[in-house]
Amino acid sequence: MAKGPLSGIKVLEFAGMGPAPVCGMLLSDLGGDVLRIDRPGASYDRYMIETRGRRSLVVDLKSEQGQKGVLALVEKADLLIEGFRPGVMERMGLAPEIALQRNPRLVYGRMTGWGQSGPYADMAGHDINYIAITGALHGIGTVERPVPPLNLVGDFGGGALYLAFGLLAALRHAEQTGEGQVVDCAMSDGTIGLMGLLYGHLARGTWHDRRGVNIIDGGSHFYNCYQCSDGHWIALGAIEPQFYEELRRKMSLDDPAFDRQLCEEDWPALKERLAEIIATRPRSEWAALLEGTDACFAPVMSMKEAPSHPHNVARGAFVAVDDVTHPAPSPRFSKTPGFIQSPPVEAGVGGEEAAREWGVEHDW
């Protein structure tokens, strides 16, 4: 029996890539009953963590029979997720207006890179492209060149999280009024939203529109990553004066040159000096010195190391599912904790049973 804050919410997810399945995972982890619609020939394995926690129904969406069955499911759903390029759902006879006519309280979530409108709407792209027009990619990297920040900023931050946020906001409205609506979630829009604080600093004149010269983009000595003598790295983030003083005290940074914390002209030389000091000891020694203090320190863990870090272990931040390490459901709830409903399943597993539970009998 599903549990969690979204228990009882039915989610119809049209299988896709990137942020749409991650959004489905988030909703499932919090108790949503997510039914994935897969196309014939779809294939999954236990390593596709983003597909965990839902059942799958294989449907030929190009056939009249398949479309009829899916529309019957639409009538039962609370939320719908699709991550196709604009026009794909329309061509399959599953346009928002058709779905909302069948189910006026439905929240119809559309996840794209560029959005449903605008001159780029019909262009193909990936995370790197979507964040390129937002200012985010320009601001991330070295002085010499932008560096793609994995696909965390566009796909998952500006995409999956914004879609989940939009779906649940619209769901509340639907529950109060009986009126569903379309949620047009663009990764480019969401990324711009994430950049709000920095755009405020830019307008104020406290942010330079260049990489590697600002407090939190690698420009400063007190907010940076440094390599230790054993090749591992540590991260320092001592922005506030009291934290900076704690860092200086713990590391014996008595040189008066470190007094001028916010003097940007001094940052390059202070970064070099701090790098020299940190390179004299292994990461474990810096951890022993700085952990448990307000120096704003953390070791930079690799993906293989992170699951065994004591803080992550204490919080149960990673869990094993079928011998595969998964991120645990997040955030944490005091009354209705989330949980992983199931490991990733192959296409077609459990879908017909789920449809019957939703009240749909159909010859798939």
Same domain, 165 and 273: no
- 126 part of the active site: yes
Q: Is 2 part of any domain? A: no
Residues 270, 276, 277: CA angle, nearest 5 degrees = 90
pLDDT in tens, 209-219: 999 999 999 99
Residue 293 neighbours by CB under 8 Å, 6+ apart:
246, 250
Choose, from 126, 138, 201, 309, the residue flagged as catalytic. 126
Q: Give me the number of domains the chain comprises.
A: 2
Note the pLDDT of residue 65: 95
Q: If we measure between CA atoms, which residue out of 83, 37, 28 comes closest to residue 321?
A: 28
For residues 296 and 290, what is the distance between their CA atoms, to the nearest angstrom?
8
Q: Is 199 part of any domain? A: no
pTM: 0.95
For residues 313 and 328, what is the distance between their CA atoms, to the nearest angstrom?
11
| Residue 107: strand pairing partners | 79, 181
**pLDDT > 90? residue 1:** no
Give the orientation angle of helix 241-251 with respect to helix 283-290, to 10 degrees: 120
pLDDT in tens, 244-256: 999 999 999 999 9
Distance of CA 2 to the CA centre of its chain: 23
> What is the pLDDT averaged over residues 22-30?
98
> What is the pLDDT averaged over residues 148-175?
98
pLDDT in tens, 93-111: 999 999 999 999 999 999 9
Same domain, 31 and 169: yes
Q: Is 110 part of any domain? A: yes
At residue 8, φ and ψ (nearest 5 deg) are: 95, -10
Same domain, 15 and 76: yes
Q: Is 22 part of any domain? A: yes
Residue 80 neighbours by CB under 8 Å, 6+ apart:
11, 12, 13, 14, 74, 99, 106, 107, 108, 109
Same domain, 31 and 144: yes
The CATH number that applies at residue 104 is 3.40.50.10540
Note the pLDDT of residue 105: 98
Same domain, 133 and 75: yes
Q: Is 315 part of any domain? A: no
Mean pLDDT of the chain, nearest integer: 97
Same domain, 108 and 188: yes
pLDDT in tens, 123-150: 999 999 999 999 999 999 999 999 999 9
Q: Is 347 part of any domain? A: yes
Give the range of the structural domain holding residue 15, as residue numbers without chain letter.
Answer: 10-194+329-357
pLDDT in tens, 284-343: 999 999 999 999 999 999 999 999 999 999 999 999 999 999 999 999 999 999 999 999
- 184 part of the active site: no
Distance of CA 287 to the CA centre of its chain: 28
**pLDDT > 90? residue 2:** no
Same domain, 264 and 151: no
Same domain, 184 and 226: no
> What is the pLDDT averaged over residues 54-68?
96
The CATH number that applies at residue 239 is 3.30.1540.10
Same domain, 187 and 231: no
Note the pLDDT of residue 3: 84
Q: Note whether 188 and 134 are within 8 A (CB).
A: yes
For residues 166 and 185, what is the distance between their CA atoms, to the nearest angstrom?
8
For residues 331 and 337, what is the distance between their CA atoms, to the nearest angstrom?
9
Same domain, 253 and 125: no
Q: Note whether 51 and 36 are within 8 A (CB).
A: yes
Q: Is 207 part of any domain? A: no
pLDDT in tens, 232-281: 999 999 999 999 999 999 999 999 999 999 999 999 999 999 999 999 99
In Å, the largest CA–CA distance within the chain is 78
Q: Is 202 part of any domain? A: no
Choose, from 33, 38, 127, 155, the residue flagged as catalytic. 155
Same domain, 336 and 187: yes
Same domain, 74 and 23: yes
